[in-house]
Amino acid sequence: MAYITLKTPTSESHINIGFEFTEFKTQIGKSQVVIITDSNINSIYGSQFSEFKVIEIKPGEKSKSLEIIGDIYKHLLDCHIDRNGLIIGIGGGVVCDITGFVATTYFRGIRFGFVATTLLAQVDAAIGGKNGVNFQSFKNIIGTINQPDFVYCDPKMLDSLPDEQYRCGMAEAIKTSLTRNNKLFDFIDENKELIISKEYSVLQKLIYDSVKIKVSIVEADEIEKGARKILNLGHTFAHAIESKTGMQHGEAVSIGVCKAADISLKLGFLADEENKRIRELFKGFGLPTEFKFDFEELLPAILHDKKKDEQIINYILLNGIGKPVIMKFHYNELKKIF
């Protein structure tokens, strides 16, 4: 069991790793508490939080819409939740995104916390305070940055996670490992089999180390003016591929990171050996590393990506494993590189 505190100039977020998820009840009162969860999680764990009011959404990215957000506001009003309320999101990335967005806009912002139920949420989505919903075909372009009061990451909850979603979480963990020295990357590489078999102590260390790296990056640059951009490694293409094909986020991240590694190799930043190691590690968890696409076709999605600043695209490359660099390309240059 371990705690990590994420401190920003305006908030403190307490991240609890390796605790039973029901421990969240010790942190809160009983009145004015509402839980947002999806129907899958509610059917598996709902009996363990049945004393609270529950708003259930459908699982999946489609729920991240302003229409669903509107329905949730209505529910909160019906439950007489005011500025003293507390909203807890119990679920994966989608539930965390929605909960964070609702809580930071309702009554100009009320308290919220997360129980992260997927590996992707435990190592990434629930940490760092970014939340958002999709608009038209664009991912996460409406949202805020605000830290949850608390996050619970209970590795035991991953036992019920479908393999595909588990793999997707590994894509984000590997991505994170590539942004800070090579210790976590080596740990994942050396413990591949134990991670796949969900060995508890290995999983706990994987989550702890991933969260620790992300927290230190977010603390240095909460609102993504500079250093936090490195966490977008692989995401420019991932978001474009996702909005074009509906592919799972983690799978698209795997492809996006491999693309960034390839380009880093071509430009002389990354050694051939390192490029191969990165690719093999994603493959080792059953993640895709290739995707044939037409640059022109993905272009609109890339240019509407949130990282776009006029026609200049921030693109994260690797100067080695654990050594990210933020590069700026005009899209014409990027096209040429492809």
| Catalytic annotation present for 111 | no
| Catalytic annotation present for 239 | yes
Catalytic residue among 64, 130, 139, 259: 130
| Catalytic annotation present for 23 | no
**Cross-sheet strand order for the sheet of 324-330:** 308-309, 312-318, 324-330
With beta carbons less than 8 A apart as the criterion, state whether 99 and 87 touch: yes
Catalytic residue among 175, 249, 259, 279: 249
Provide the token pair at 305.
């990506």
Catalytic residue among 108, 225, 296, 310: 108
Catalytic residue among 175, 232, 274, 323: 232
| Catalytic annotation present for 214 | yes
Catalytic residue among 167, 239, 259, 279: 239
Closest CA to 27 of 44, 18, 14: 14
| Catalytic annotation present for 228 | yes
Q: 103: how many CB neighbours lie within 10 A of its CB?
A: 28
Catalytic residue among 235, 259, 279, 323: 235
Catalytic residue among 180, 205, 214, 323: 214
Provide the token pair at 246.
């509906």
Closest CA to 81 of 90, 89, 72: 72
With beta carbons less than 8 A apart as the criterion, state whether 259 and 295 touch: no
| Catalytic annotation present for 277 | no
| Catalytic annotation present for 67 | no
| Catalytic annotation present for 249 | yes
Mark out the alpha helices in 221-286 (DSSP H runs): 235-245, 249-266, 272-284
| Catalytic annotation present for 290 | no
| Catalytic annotation present for 304 | no
Catalytic residue among 40, 134, 167, 172: 172
- Pairwise CA distance, residues 169 & 291, whole Å: 19
Catalytic residue among 180, 228, 259, 323: 228
Q: Where in the sequence numbering do the catalytic residues fall?
A: 108, 130, 172, 214, 224, 228, 232, 235, 239, 249
